[in-house]
A and B are shown apart, each in its own frame.
Chain A
Amino acid sequence: MNHLLDEELIKLVLSGENEAFAVLVQRYEKQVFSLAYRLCANYDEAADLAQEAFIQVYSVLVKYEIDRPFFPWLYRVAYNTCINVLRKKPPNITNLEDFTAVLSQPEDDTIPEVSYDRQETKAFIEKSIADLPEKYKEPVILRYLENLSYQQIADRMDVPVSTIETRLYRGRLLLQEKLGKYTGKRKIK
């Protein structure tokens, strides 16, 4: 079954062949899992989110229009599923505490040496991205994770390309505020 096209697999699923869905999951699990991980910055939570996302895809598969590309559709369903779950989640206060150490370090005028613990730094950046407001987070993730152009992101999100440009600019401005110690102190006025 592995050689079959997405569309062929979907037809099989809709005709009751569940095994075909397993092939689709294997085909896209990394991308969906990565998306989920970027949205929550927590490995275990990402596994739950990604699982929920695939189950939702399965549940609404009959709505997929077979003559359109499957992956963007799947990605959209997965994204919406993850966001809906995350919206219901109360803010996780304990996770923030993990980063107070980093946050409370005194700023100085020099660009930091690579003195921060690598893992800590990575976790902090991941968390900062996951904590971005939704409208900035989605284009940032699509830009970096899927390496999409502004036009492609605009198509995916169904907003004008100028809006995407603005959101990607502002989203990264927010990150720069948060991550200033890693990028230097200069602020864009």
Chain B
Amino acid sequence: MNCKTVSERIYSFIDGQLTEEEAQAFLAHIEECPSCAALFADAQILDGLIAETIVPVEPPVGFADAVMACLPQAKIVPFPSQKSKFFKWGAFVAAAAIALSFGLTNIFSNNAAQPGINLAENLSNNEQIVNEREPGLEITVTDPATENNEGNTESQTPDVVAQNSASNKEDNQTGSSSIGLPKAASGTQGVGNFNQRLLAAHQGVDTLNPEVNSTGKYVTYYVKLDGKLQLWQVALSGDTEPVLLSEEDLAENEGLIQAHKYGEWKADNYDNCGLFAAASDGSRGAISSPMDGGSLWLTDANGANAQAFYAKGGGNIILWAPNNGSFVFNDNQNNLYVAYPEEGIVLYVLSGNVKNLSWADSKNLVLEIVEPSASNSAVYVVTLP
């Protein structure tokens, strides 16, 4: 060994990582070379200092208890430390992965498949995925085929409504859950007893910006037709036909039509990671994020302390119900969900390109949707449990 090799391998020798042969060559050089011998002596001192310093340290008394006290309420919550000020993406992704690995995404297609099942009870079996609290919500899943017997669809469909397509018509005849449900949740499979009613549709045009008026009894929406902007009104109950309220020049009034905005991209603490909305009573907030295939987070009212809630999200909608007991959100694949934070439940509502959405009250949603099979939007009312 020459001086260079010896100096480079001093610590390997001290650490006992040289082969027998190497160690002997090393020592032989040290014997003959005072300069390397001095380096070796220094290195031994340093090694001793480090070894003396880097020793195990006893944690504070009660450390394990402190950890246990800080464990997340919901089992997949990755932001337990009250001290955390930053959103952690590593944890975020992990939480989403856990939720997926528990098969969360299959809850609805599996459990909802049997009519009459108590969905809340089934969800409570998965409570470690979502929330430790006992779900207080009783949700009965009804087979759309039975609902068909009630025959409410046709009487509630305004006469002026033109069906957009043959398949749509077919759906309406098989039950009220007619809005482009994914395969797993359509047909004879229930998706909760959501009553989905077509409120208004016009042949060849969109029903734009539906809004519940101040009385809460009527929905108004716009239609662009022949250079005109028409304002229509229909009763929320569906008991009356839509009526034309006014007709203005389209060019002059086009500015009236602006897609609703839902939530805000949360910049502080979260690096614009998702769409945030706060409950109006200041009790809490929620973030729907596109990260890792979509995920839903509950937060404080100011958006802090995000906790993983569900492995879906990342769409353009998040909107709290007027009573702040639930909120709707979507993913980026046109699936709409409603979340009940207190109960720890998320329910799949429907699939379709939701253009606009508003709460008529805390149970009824008014939606402008383009169905998968249609080219124009229509107005629907969905009644939640």
Contacts and interface: CB of A to CB of B under 8 A. Distances in A.
Interface of A: 16, 18, 21-22, 25-26, 29-31, 33-34, 37-38, 43, 46-48, 50-52, 54-56, 58-60, 62-63, 80, 84, 88, 122, 125-126, 129, 140-141, 143-145, 149-150, 165, 168-169, 172, 175-176, 179, 182-184, 186, 188-189
B187 interface: no
Given A59-B76, A168-B11, A189-B7, A33 B17 contact: no
B49 A182 contact: yes
B65 to A, nearest CB: 8
Contacts of A51: 63, 66-67, 70, 81
A176 B46 contact: yes
A129 B50 contact: yes
Given A140-B54, A183-B42, 13 more contacts: A21-B68, A30-B59, A31-B56, A34-B57, A38-B54, A51-B63, A51-B81, A55-B70, A125-B50, A125-B53, A149-B17, A150-B17, A176-B42
6 tightest A-B contacts by CB? Answer: A33-B59, A144-B54, A59-B78, A25-B64, A183-B45, A55-B80
Given A22-B64, A50-B63, A55 B71 contact: yes
Contacts, number: 154
The size bracket of the interface on B is: 35 or more
A124 B45 CA distance: 16
B77 interface: yes
Contacts of B70: 51, 55
A140 B131 CA distance: 42
Given A38-B54, A165-B12, A169-B11, A52 B46 contact: no
B17 A145 contact: no
Contacts of B60: 43, 47
A176 to B, nearest CB: 5
Contacts of B64: 22, 25-26, 29
A163 to B, nearest CB: 13
Given A21-B68, A29-B59, A59 B46 contact: no
A55 B49 contact: no
B377 to A, nearest CB: 41
B81 A48 contact: yes
